[in-house]
Structures are given as C-alpha cells and as structure tokens.
Amino acid sequence: MSRRTLLIVVGTLAVLLALTPLIPRGEDEGAILPSGQKAGALRPAATAGWSRVTPEMRAEIDRVVAEGRTLGRVSAKATPEQLAASSVRCAELEGQRYCLGTGWTEDSEAEVRARMARAARTTAARPAGAVESTGDLDSADALAQRARMSPAARAEADRAELTMAARSVAKVWLLRHEIEGVPLPDGFLAAHPEARAAVPVAAKASASPSTTASPSAAATPAAPSTPSVKTQADYPERVAIMNPKQVSEQTRTYWCGPTSMQMIAWGWRNRVQSQDHWARRLHTTSSGTSVYDMVRVVNQSTGWDNEDHAGPYIVLDIGKYGFDKWMLLMMRHLADYQAPVVLHPHLLKQFYPYLDDDASGHFQVGRGYAKRGKKPDLLGYFEPWNQARFDPSEPSIARVQWRNAYKSYRGNQAHYAHNVGV
C-alpha cells in the first residue's frame, strides 16, 4: 500500500470516528441524547410555552386565595377531613381544574379532599417505622405543614402555586387533546400563540425560477393548525435520554426529591450540584419533598421547560389513565420533548423487586422506554434509593434501571395522589 493510499485510509477512518456518537456502554440501553440538547432541528410535537395569565384567571386565583384566607388559622389537631377541607381548594382555569397540592385533575374538589383525608388517616394509623420512608411528603405531613402556616403565608403560597398552574394551561389542554382525545376549544391556537408550532424556515432557492420562494411568501407566518395526535405505533422502538453516568444515590433517607432533582439538573447543566443545595431549593424537610416543589424547581432551575423541550412542567393527576394512556404519556414526553419525567410512585416490593422492604411514596427520574413486541415494555429511570447505604445487610440497588413499564404504572397508581411531573 502506497504512502498516499495509507494517508487516505487513515483520514477516512478519522472522519468516520468523529461522526460516530459516543454511546456509553455497560448498564444502559438505547441511544443517548446529549445533555440539555434536542435532537434535530424540529420542535417537539405540540409543545406549549408559558401562557399569559388572563384577567379571568386572575379573578379565579383571587377567589381561591380569598377562600383560604377566610378560614384563618387551622389547628394541626383538626381531623384529616377538616385539614383537607382547609388545604385542598380547586381553581377552574380555562376549562381545566387545578387543585392545590394535587395538580391538574379530572376529579372533583370533594373527591380530591376525600382522597387526601383517607391517605392521611391511613398514615396516622400505621405503627411508627412500619414503612421505610424515602422522602416523598405524605398526605398527613402535607396537611400538617399547611395547617401550621399563617393565613398570610398560606395565601402567598396558594397564589404562587395557582399562578404557575395558570401559566401552564395551554400545555394541559394539549396533553388532554393528545393523550385523552379531548377536542381543543374553538379558537385555542389563536388564543394561545405559545402552543403553535414554529414557522418552518423557507427552503433555499431552487435552480428553477418556478419553484423559488418569493421573499414575501417566505416571511408569511403559517396559519394556526390543530396539532396531530400520535399513537404508540408512531413512536420509535427505543428512546433513552440523559447520560447514565450522571447519577447519584440519596445520602439521607428522606432525600429522594433532592437527589432526583440533582440528576435532572445535572442532565441539563452538565455539571453536578450538591443534594444539600437542591434540598434547600425544594424546601425539603425531614418529612420529605412535595411533587409541586419538584415541578417548581425543574421550571426555575433548568431549561427542560423550554419550548423546544417539555414546555412548563406540570403536576398531572393520571388516576383515570389506563396503562396504554400512561405509556403514551411517557413516550410523548421522552421522545417528543426529550425531557425527563418526575416519576412519583409508591415504592412497593410487588412493583420493584429490588426492594428488601416496602417503602413510602418516592421520586425517580424517568428517562427512557423500550417497546419489545410480545415481551413487556420497559421503562428506563434513574433510581436515587439505595437501601444498602442505610442497611448494609440489604441488597444494593443500581442507579440505572430498565424495568417492566406496567409495574411502574401500577406503582404510580398505588400512590394516593397518582400524579407525575411532566
């Protein structure tokens, strides 16, 4: 082989290696998308940005906040039903219902209150230490925290939560439309420009004058159109986002929230910040972290809420979802948005076989799925909980998990709040 031929071969191999994506090997499955970046130039399907808070929304927020103020101070010794009635109040925002502490839901206010009260009673009746707590804020502690707040502090917290919810209403409508088949309201896209797909870039001029776009045509915005509705069959067989090396285990038994947030932010920023930092941002206490605070901090501290990813993260009640709808929600978020899901399951051995004991409500970071035909579909997620860290006699749990997706769905439904952060 001549020296010139050898140089050509070596040069060709160097180019091919440079174009080949670096995919970590070992415990992960699927192609890895770069942290904080989207694949390709197309904006994800039906992503909505932040909505404007209309005067009608402000009036509804004022109503719910004022209702809470009239209750005055609430005794922490009140019954679970009384605590739920004072804490759980719902707003109707452009035809969608948001309940404080629960998220966007199709349940009535009375149903959400009853669910919270039942869960609080169940928690209170359990012997101390009967369930291993990993850091989700249970209903009894959530209600007690609200009861301890002054009326002014509670009103401020209510307003902040409801305002964030109001600004995500377009995202909620698009989710209901795509996952549940709910028709969009008349004039939806005209009223919500933040939900319109980006105007395509004009193609380069062709050699043929008849196919060359005129400057005026290229500058004309595309007319609003109804977003297409996908099915599971429209999605790729396998998707994995986030670097499986950017993971950590929780260093305190009640820090599943801060650790999940640490990994979510690490995946966006490509640098790690301490769990203590995220515990402060999340207002985590020894009782745990709320799912609302998880969503709030994702929106405030990462770019996963950008329009070219998920848009504003929301707390979504999936209690009425069957497995197929839940799985479609996962696929939509991971494939279209290329953004992590805040999973919120009840950590029970029947759903998570790596557990040595049943545990509490929990947070995990959803980051992939795999369709496997006749075999059960898999859900990929980062697991912050490692029981062996706190009890060396128990089996160690790996951070990167690919597990039966149906069992993850069941774990999500087993949680009294049955909601997720998407």
Rounded distance between C-alpha atoms, residue 65 and residue 155, angstroms? 6
- The residue type of 169 is V
Contact assessment for residue 345 and residue 415, using Cβ atoms and an 8 Å cutoff: yes
Name the residue ranges covered by the structural domains of the chain.
55-169, 231-421
| Distance, C-alpha 123 to centroid of its chain | 26
Give the pairing type, strands 32-33 and 238-241.
Answer: parallel
Q: Dihedral angle at the C-alpha atoms of 58, 91, 68, 146, nearest 10 degrees?
A: -120
Neighbouring CB atoms inside 10 A of 332's CB total 23
CA 202, 207, 210, 216 torsion-angle sign: positive
CA pseudo-torsion sign 142, 405, 400, 351: positive
What is the greatest pairwise CA distance in the chain? 90
Contact 36, 269 (CB under 8 A): yes
The superfamily CATH assigns to domain 231-421 is: Cysteine proteinases (3.90.70.10)
Q: What are phi and psi of 258, to 5 degrees?
A: -60, -35
Contact status, residue 189 vs residue 183, Cβ threshold 8 Å:
no
Query: For residues 175 and 190, what is the distance between their CA atoms, to the nearest angstrom?
Result: 18
3-class secondary structure per residue, the chain: CCHHHHHHHHHHHHHHHHHCCCCCCCCCCCCEECCCCCCCCCCCCCCCCCCCCCHHHHHHHHHHHHHHHHCCCCCCCCCHHHHHHHHCCEEEECCEEEECCCEEECCCHHHHHHHHHHHHHHHHHCCCCCCECCCECCHHHHHHHHHHCCHHHHHHHHHHHHHHHHCCHHHHHHHHHHHHCCCCCCCHHHHCHHHCCCCCCCCCCCCCHHHCCCHHHHCCCCCCCCCCCCCHHHCCCEEEECCCCCCCCCCCCCCHHHHHHHHHHHHHHCCCCCHHHHHHHCCCECCEECHHHHHHHHHHHCCCCCCCCCCCCCEEECCCCCHHHHHHHHHHHHHHCCCCEEECCECCCCCCCCCCCCECECCEEEEEEECCCCCCCEEEEECCCCHHHHCCCCCCCCCEEEEEHHHHHHHHHHCCCCEEEC
Please write the tens of the pLDDT for every residue from 80-115.
999 999 899 999 999 999 999 999 999 999 999 999
pLDDT digits (tens, 9 = 90+) for 156-179: 999 999 999 999 999 999 999 989
What pLDDT tens digit does each residue of the chain (422 aa) get?
A: 555 454 444 454 443 433 333 323 234 543 344 344 333 222 345 678 999 999 999 999 999 999 998 887 777 688 999 999 989 999 999 999 999 999 999 999 999 999 999 999 998 887 776 788 999 999 999 999 988 899 999 999 999 999 999 999 999 999 999 899 999 999 888 898 888 765 433 333 333 323 223 222 233 333 344 556 789 999 999 999 999 999 999 999 999 999 999 999 999 999 999 999 999 999 999 999 999 999 999 999 999 999 889 999 999 999 999 999 999 999 999 999 999 999 999 999 999 999 999 999 999 999 999 999 999 999 999 999 999 999 999 999 999 999 999 999 999 999 999 999 99
As a whole number of angstroms, the distance between CA 261 and CA 267 comes to 10
187 exposed, middle or buried (CB, 10 Å; 0-12, 13-18, 19+)?
Answer: exposed
421 and 342 Cβ atoms separated by less than 8 Å: yes
8 Å CB contact between 291 and 419: yes
